[in-house]
Chain A
Amino acid sequence: QSALTQPPSASGSPGQSVTISCTGTSSDVGGYNYVSWYQQHPGKVPKLIIYEVNKRPSGVPDRFSGSKSGNTASLTVSGLQAEDEADYYCSSSAGSNNLGVFGGGTKLTVL
Chain B
Amino acid sequence: GQQLNQSPQSMFIQEGEDVSMNCTSSSIFNTWLWYKQDPGEGPVLLIALYKAGELTSNGRLTAQFGITRKDSFLNISASIPSDVGIYFCAGQRPLGDSSYKLIFGSGTRLLVRP
Query: Do A and B truly interact?
Result: no
A interface residue numbers (CB < 8 A to B) = none
